[in-house]
Amino acid sequence: MTLDAQRVEYETVGFDVGDADPDPFVQVHRWWDEWSAVAPNEPNAVVLATADAAGHASARTVLLRGLDASGFTFFTSYESRKGQDLDAHPVGTILASWVPLLRQVNARGAIAKVERAESETYFAGRPRGSQLAAWASHQSSEVTDRGELEGRFAEAEQRFEGQVVPCPPYWGGYRLVPDSIELWQGRPSRMHDRLRYERDAPGAAWRIVRLSP
């Protein structure tokens, strides 16, 4: 079957303004719990979209490590492409696409680094192999081959043998503080339900609007 001929009818229960919690983070957590119950791997995986200094967009999957009233938190190398993008344009979008449930969550807003202590606390709880990889991999930079990367990992193992692996100075967390959060529920005949939480500034009251599908 060709791509243009593939069709799936979305038979799901509706999602209206009266069904949504006034607090978007409560509602997103509710959906996330339902997704986590059926997701086979990495239920906290989301797509992060950013743009570089020239306005070129890029997207990649990151693992969400925090979701509360302060925003959406993830950790990475500050030297990575996304880190460089955020230096140029400290805004972005996070998208959670849950196809089996015919749902999406889309959050847009400013993105800033978290406090250093928060990054170090999170890093301390990572598996040792992941800690060493943060030192071995200069994320998004070119390598000649796999052997070079594995050599760097071996060097990191030797460097920190018998020691606690510290958090690299170029590694840490970011938090997206949303100005809008959109929830999408697939419905029959492409008459989907789209609700968007929006506010004028951080800390302001949220309002919910319905969007055309």
Instruction: Report residue 83's pLDDT band, with 50, 70 and 90 as the boundaries.
Output: very high
Coil, helix or strand at residue 104: strand
- Domains present along the chain, CATH in parentheses: 3-126+169-211 (2.30.110.10)
pLDDT for the residue 5: 56
Write out the two tokens for 127: 């598996």
Residue 32, C-beta contacts closer than 8 angstroms, at least 6 positions apart:
43, 44, 67, 96, 105
Q: What is the pLDDT of residues 174-203, one digit of tens each?
A: 999 999 999 999 988 888 999 999 998 888
Write out the two tokens for 194: 């789209």
DSSP β-bridge partners for residue 63? 45
Q: What is the mean predicted confidence (pLDDT) over 36-52?
A: 94
pLDDT for the residue 9: 55
Greatest alpha-carbon span in the chain: 61
Q: Which residues are catalytic?
A: 190
Per residue, what are the HEC states of 65-88?
A: CEEECCEEEEEEECCCHHHHHHHH
pLDDT for the residue 174: 98
**In the predicted model, what is the mean pLDDT of the chain?**
93
pLDDT for the residue 4: 56
pLDDT for the residue 73: 98
Instruction: Report residue 141's pLDDT band, with 50, 70 and 90 as the boundaries.
Output: confident
pLDDT for the residue 2: 62
Q: Among residues 184, 209, 182, 194, which one has the least CA distance to residue 24? A: 182
Instruction: Report residue 6's pLDDT band, with 50, 70 and 90 as the boundaries.
Output: low
pLDDT for the residue 201: 86
Q: How many CB atoms lie within 10 A of CB 119?
A: 20
Q: How many CB atoms lie within 10 A of CB 120?
A: 14
Write out the two tokens for 128: 């040792």
